[in-house]
Chains A and B, each alone.
Chain A
Amino acid sequence: MGYSQFGAMIPELIILGIFLVVFVADVFSRDGSAKKFLTPMTTVLFGLGTIAIWLLPSCEVSVFGGMYVNDTASMAIKAILNIGVFIVLLQSAHWVESDEVAIRKGEFYELLLVTLFGMYLMISARHFLLFVIGLEAASLPLAALVAFNKKHYESDEAAIKYILTAVFSSAILLMGLSFVYAFSGGSLYYSDIYTNIASGQMSGLLIVAMAFMIAGIGFKLSLVPFHLWTADVYQGAPTAITSYLSVISKGATAFAFFIIFVQAFGQIYPDCWEWMLYAVIIATITVGNLFAIRQKNLKRFMAFSSISQAGYIMLGAMTSSTIGLGSMMYYIFVYIVSNLGAFAVITSIENKTGKVGMDDYDGLHKTNPWLSFAMTLAMFSLAGIPPFAGFFSKFLIFTSATSTGSMPLYILVLIALINTIISLYYYLLVVKAIWINPGEAKVEAFKSNTGERAALWICVAGIVLFGLVPYIYEYCYNAALIPGLGQ
């Protein structure tokens, strides 16, 4: 084999190229004023990279003996995540110029790009070795990013909670993987595991292995019994990182989860992990919603909202079919714009005033009508109110979950529907604080920065248009037509 195989990993090479350019520019411009160009340069480069990934012809490539596969679905989810990261870069453009962070902003971009690189590997991996490397490359730099506000104690507390739970979950995942290895016939390729784990021979060890795998990946996805780190980390981390954690990291892990459990463990789906996933989804949606109701800090509130949204995303994995994967990718796409829209508002208000409490938003519409409008749209979309994209993504994911027509799945969707109504209550609490709560506005009128405004415009356009333009769902569905999935 030659080095030519690396040429097939085009999305990874693009990210790596941007990383190297940023790294070299950062290292060779020690002078404080010379770093002014770093933020616009990274943003523009990444924007170009995003466009390049969207325009790439999606052909199926498989290199390194099939360890790395870039099929249409992987390309599509990478392109989707790239847009999310681009929005995160835009909305953090002002924060990285603040006095405390400006000197280290090069590191911020480098770590961000490395985590994205890890997620790409995780998405494209068809061998568990590459998957574990990608998972760790995605989660270890994130710990450094969570601790990025070095002078704030909360950031450190969040980081230690994040790294300890991340390593704990990796250990559990590796343990489960070692049990899987015992069944796999000596190979850790997804396809070999698929053929070697026959549906007939069930054993206790295999069930334990599956439970460990779901627990290990569930930690990263913050599914409920494994969600306890989420709220603290989201609250303590810098807001740009919180938004990154809540959408990009979650979307990549959800996709990798789907691929692993369908392509490696699809044979034992009905006997083994269907009911596990079933129970975990019900717990995730319900607990996330119930705890979100009592939150007063908006970042914690978004943390619990993202836990329950992760439950909805995993609904797509219940059917393990093309329509499930397509709806899941569409849901992730819509979730990216809705959640990042909310976070763009939170970021710009926090940068200006330092306020993140929900009662700080009382009467916001009197001073900042545009921000209030954007926040309202984001909340409506997250709750799933019809004209906005969130409604269509929920509708499609419910449709995909019921497409097999089995009774337990109808009950699951019913529970999810009831939870949608509960979630409407707490999302509307924010809207109520903005538009209805009496009292003087606690946030003075201000003009948000260019980057934040650009991020908000993209998000608002996405929230309004994604549901109404059928092309987006068709794109996701066509991309999900990969071999090995049923209709």
Chain B
Amino acid sequence: MDLNMLWYLVPSVIMFVAGVYGFVTRKNMIALLISLELMLNSADLNFVIFNRFLYPGSMEGMVFTLFAIAIAAAETAIAIAIIVNIYRKLHSTEIDEVDKMKY
């Protein structure tokens, strides 16, 4: 069986949609972060796939992915720090309880 680009793109799209779905439906802030991570990783995967199949001569997509992974790690670190701060005050990581400011 010939593995063309589509076989690699489908998992990436599934990951992205799962990430969006999780971001919208999950109630736990850590789970929200995991969903975000899925979305970021699917974008990284896309870069690698396009680089490998469309532009095998260059490395631009791969390099971009390396930077994107580092940025995603920084984002997670800051988000975790803020969640820890909230946990100290509310003793909970449920997103429903973080709703004092509305409209």
Residues of chain A having any CB pair with chain B under 8 Å? 128-129, 132-133, 136, 140, 143-144, 147, 150, 153-154, 156-161, 163-164, 166-168, 170-172, 174-175, 177-179, 181-182, 185-188, 231-232, 235-236
Interface positions, chain B 41-98, Cβ under 8 Å from A, are 42-44, 46-47, 50-51, 54-55, 57-58, 60-61, 63-64, 67-68, 71, 74-75, 78-79, 81-83, 85-86, 89-90, 98
Return chain B residues, CB-CB under 8 Å to A186: 51, 54-55, 57-58, 60-61
Residues in B whose Cβ lies below 8 Å from that of A188: 60, 64
Does B82 lie within 8 Å of A168, measured CB to CB? no
A170 to B32, CA, bound (A): 15
A150 to B75, CA, bound (A): 19
Point out the residues of chain A lying under 8 angstroms from B40, CB to CB.
167, 170-171, 174
For A160, give the chain B residue with the smallest CB separation: B82
C-alpha spacing A172/B35, complex, angstroms: 13
Query: A132–B54 Cα gap in the complex (Å)?
Result: 22
22 inter-chain pairs at a CB distance below 8 angstroms, sorted by A residue, are: A129-B63, A129-B64, A136-B71, A147-B85, A156-B85, A156-B86, A157-B98, A159-B85, A160-B83, A163-B82, A164-B36, A166-B75, A167-B79, A168-B36, A171-B19, A174-B44, A178-B46, A181-B47, A181-B50, A187-B58, A187-B60, A231-B103
Q: Is the CB of A236 within 8 A of B101?
A: yes
Interface size on B, residues (CB 8 A): 42
Residue of A147, A178, A185, A235 contacting most chain B CB atoms (<10 Å): A178
Q: How far is A185 from B55 in the complex, measured between Cα atoms in Å?
A: 7
With A133-B71, A168-B39 already in contact, 14 other A-B pairs whose C-beta atoms are closer than 8 Å:
A129-B63, A129-B67, A159-B82, A160-B79, A164-B29, A164-B36, A167-B36, A167-B79, A171-B19, A178-B50, A181-B47, A182-B54, A186-B58, A186-B60
Q: Which of A153, A158, A160, A167 has the most CB of B within 10 A?
A: A167
Is A174 in contact with B85, judged by CB distance below 8 angstroms? no
**A residues less than 8 Å from B86 (CB atoms):** 156-157, 160
Give B1-23 interface residues, CB cut-off 8 Å to A: 16, 19, 23
Question: Are A168 and B100 CB-contacts (below 8 A) given A132-B71, A133-B67, A150-B85?
Answer: no
Of all chain A residues, the one with the shortest Cβ separation from B99 is: A157
Query: Contact between A175 and B16 (Cβ–Cβ < 8 Å)?
Result: yes
Q: Sorted from nearest, which 8 A-B pairs have the closest CB atoms?
A: A186-B55, A178-B46, A174-B43, A171-B39, A186-B58, A175-B43, A232-B101, A136-B71
B44: chain A residues at CB < 8 Å are: 174
Docked Cα-Cα span, A5 to B39, in Å, equals 35
The answer to whether A182 and B50 have CB atoms under 8 Å apart is yes
**Residues of A contacting B55 with CB < 8 Å?**
185-186
- Complex Cα spacing A158 to B82, Å: 10
Contact B101 A235, beta carbon cutoff 8 Å: yes
Report the nearest B residue to A180, measured CB to CB. B50
Whether B83 contacts A174 by the Cβ 8 Å rule is no
**Within 8 Å CB of A179, what residues of B?**
46
B77: nearest chain-A partner, CB-CB? A140
- Distance of B61 from chain A, by nearest CB (Å): 6
Give the distance in Å from the alpha carbon of A138 to the alpha carbon of B47 in the complex: 23
Contact call B82/A132, Cβ cutoff below 8 A: no
- A158 near B101 with CB under 8 A, answer yes
Q: Name the distance in Å between A63's Cβ and chain B's nearest Cβ.
A: 18
- Bound state CA distance, A164 and B27, in angstroms? 13
- With a cutoff of 8 Å between Cβ atoms, the chain A residues found around residue B50 in the complex are 178, 181-182
B78 touches A154 (CB 8 A): no
Q: Nearest Cβ distance between residue B30 and chain A, in whole angstroms?
A: 12
